[in-house]
Amino acid sequence: MADKLPIKTILIANRGEIACRVNRAAKELGLKVVQAVSEADTESLAARLADEVKVIGPPQAAKSYLDVDALLAAAKESGADAVHPGYGFLSENAGFADAVEAAGLVFVGPSGDTIRLMGDKAAAREQAQKAGVPTVPGSDGVITDMDEAERLAGAVGYPVMIKAAAGGGGRGIRVADDAEAFRKLAPQASNEAKAAFGDGGIYIEKVIERARHIEVQVLGDGRDVVHFFDRECSLQRRRQKVWEEAPSAAVDEAVREKLCAAAVDLAKSVQYRGAGTVEFLYDDETGEFYFIEMNTRIQVEHPVTEMICGTDLVAGMIRVCAGAPLGIAQGEIAREGHAIEVRLNAEDPANGFMPFPGVVSGLKVPGGEGIRFDHMLYDGYAIPPFYDSLLGKLIVWAPDRAQAIARMKEALSTLKIGGLPTTAPLFTALADSADVQANAVHTRWLEPWLERNIDKLTKQGETTT
């Protein structure tokens, strides 16, 4: 298919499992793959899979994976036509997208202007309102004055969520139950956002006590947009997703249709290009849903959508960003069955989820019908201590949710990652939970459950030794 695209070589400006995933999609399109690596990642699986490797700097991300000049130099030296940013690092950095395009290269993602607009959560909220998409009750724009913020919080009604206007990853977020807590927490959220993202602006949203986190996968070519249905990511620890499913079992088809239509309307309103995700909170008690943010990149949990829709989203985003039309109508996209993904991290869940780099040994990857493992591992690989602890994602598909949970337990029992603890015991325990099996969870369910069930998260056999 490469002869049908105006690109021949793609630079992967990321690492870990997502670099391996992009590599696979690019090669299936017939593209040459150049892998950018730090000095700590020269022996990574992503480097081994690539056609060419470019070392871009020392282990520190700020001097390698976040160094725009080094990445552009690597692209130029390798003759790359396009740059795929993966997720994290510079994937939602408007300046990086601008710089890639200014260098005459294809940025595999939306334009810098779109990233800038949708990356500012307050501006994205305003854009959603313009597109007729419901938003959580809260402030209408960025707030920098703390006295004004407190007044607005009182008007919205406690409890409220204080959120950084820029950034993501759960940083710059606090929940205030009353005015006294707000006066303490709002400056903390602002300062954390300023330190992490260079922008201390905040906005305020009403807390929905029993919310579900439901998101819609979209793909656009800058002219048209289609959706690939919904996912649910309500099982979260410290606002980080740990277990994801597609489709959500919490909504009926009428609500699903409205959610997906709202996501497409918003994406069309910004002439979206590439793969993106529109995230919503769904109120279990009222049946209402509200826009919270848009992720202008491929997401960690994209495989569950691929499993139920039978599509390759990463290949799709490469094609449309290279200028190809969508080539598919909404009516041609169908879903089947149920998929679940769990994130395997090099962390010890029985010890406060402490990160635990080590050397992988005795690796055994589960296989069989409906089982997929996207990962960055091989026997003898030393996990670098410099980056995120994600090792890979275990994904299963089955005809229905109950069978998917059973298949996940089976796959977890087969998976072996020796040499270091992982979060596998957490997911075995969750699969056994009556609440999870009954789908009686919400975004604030997991952390109290963890406190009650810490004894179940001990190391289990070879999986975590």
Q: List the catalytic residues.
A: 297
Residue 110 and residue 297: Cα distance in Å, rounded?
Answer: 8
Which phi and psi (to 5°) does residue 392 adopt? Answer: 175, 180
In three state form, how does the secondary structure of the chain look? CHHHCCCCEEEECCCHHHHHHHHHHHHHCCCEEEEEEEHHHCCCHHHHHCCEEEEEECCCHHHCCCCHHHHHHHHHHHCCCEEECCCCCCCCCHHHHHHHHHCCCEECCCCHHHHHHHHCHHHHHHHHHHCCCCECCECCCCECCHHHHHHHHHHHCCCEEEEECCCCCCCCEEEECCHHHHHHHHHHHHHHHHHHHCCCCEEEEECCCCEEEEEEEEEEECCCEEEEEEEEEEEEECCEEEEEEECCCCCCHHHHHHHHHHHHHHHHHCCCEEEEEEEEEEECCCCCEEEEEEECCCCCCHHHHHHHHCCCHHHHHHHHHCCCCCCCCHHHCCCCCEEEEEEEECEEHHHCCEECCCECEEEECCCCCCEEEEECCCCCCECCCCCCCEEEEEEEEECCHHHHHHHHHHHHHHCEEECCCCCHHHHHHHHHCHHHHCCCCCCCCHHHHHHHCHHHHCCCHHHHC
Residue 36 and residue 13: Cα distance in Å, rounded?
Answer: 6
Which one, of 166, 12, 144, 152, lies nearest residue 86 by Cα?
12
Residue 82 and residue 86: Cα distance in Å, rounded?
Answer: 13
Residue 179 and residue 200: Cα distance in Å, rounded?
Answer: 20
